[in-house]
Amino acid sequence: MVNLIRARGAAFKLARELDFPHPAEIPLEDLAMYRNVLVVEGGLIGAEGRLIRRKKGGVIRVREGIGQEGRRRFTIAHELGHWELHEDHSQFLCSESDMRDYGRSPLEREANCFAAELLMPTVHFRPLCQEEPSLNLVKNLAKEFQTTLTATAIRLADLSKYPLQVVWHEGDVVKWSYSEEKKKLPYVAAGTVVPGYGSARLPESEVSEFMDHYDSADWFPALQYGKPEVIEMTMRVPSLSAGLTLMRFVDR
């Protein structure tokens, strides 16, 4: 069973030991070494990161050539999450999809939750994310915390005062969606076809940086009555033929 409270608590405890520095101030390699884990680069094919646990410490190996610093940092933090949380496993080999796994594998979900709290600590992140959600806000937060847009949008859904859901889709099909469980929002199931008349289908040149309402975009076809009203925006990932939609539920 997944235990996100424990995952967040482990990251919080580690930050507390260091007196809650801003995460951008500490190289993650140094932080891992503080926990007796060596970070090395290269020697991986078909995976983003690997953790090997040894008697006197551990080794985190990161794929060479990860283009975005945010992806590299999240990979290290994710593997460090496995180190802190999953003592009964001697090794993990994690793919790019594992870094975006918020529903399939409890262990990967816990590692992602740990990484999010470590890289975007509540004490630093929450005060900066209370304004109206927008693409500019996600980009600015990602820049400050040196994180990916995907991880930042998910963290925004966790800590924003607004009810938000993040939906990842490849081609025209939803692969996963995420919202903070306590907010009890309607759920966009994996396998759902992306609505034909919403931000997710717009040409990239027409995508707004602000959330907007699309009258014909039905994200919840399984709901017959009382469908929620939403405003949305989509961030394109052309290299993956994918998109990340941030959806906000509004009162009627």
Which SS3 state, helix, strand or coil, does residue 35 take? Answer: coil
User: Which pLDDT tens digit goes with each residue over 187-217?
Assistant: 898 899 999 888 998 887 787 888 999 988 8
Compute CA distances 180 → 8, 64, 209, 220, whole Å.
13, 33, 23, 18
- Nearest-10 Cα torsion for 216, 197, 102, 157: -70
Tens digits of residue pLDDT in 216-238: 888 988 887 778 899 999 988 88
> According to CATH, what is the number of the domain 4-119?
1.10.10
Q: Enter the pTM of the model.
A: 0.90
Instruction: Name 231's bridge partners.
Output: 248
- Number of helical (H) and strand (E) elements in the chain, helices listed first: 7, 8
**What φ, ψ does residue 231 adopt, rounded to 5°?**
-115, 155
Question: Residue 96 burial (CB < 10 Å; 0-12/13-18/19+)?
Answer: middle
All structural domains of the chain with their residue ranges: 4-119, 130-250
Per DSSP bridges, beta strands 173-178 and 242-250 are unpaired
Between residues 245 and 204, the one the model is more confident about: 245
Identify the weakest region by mean pLDDT among 50-54, 97-101, 125-129, 218-222. Answer: 97-101
CA atoms within 13 Å, Cβ hemisphere of 240: 13
Q: Residue 98 above 90 pLDDT?
A: no
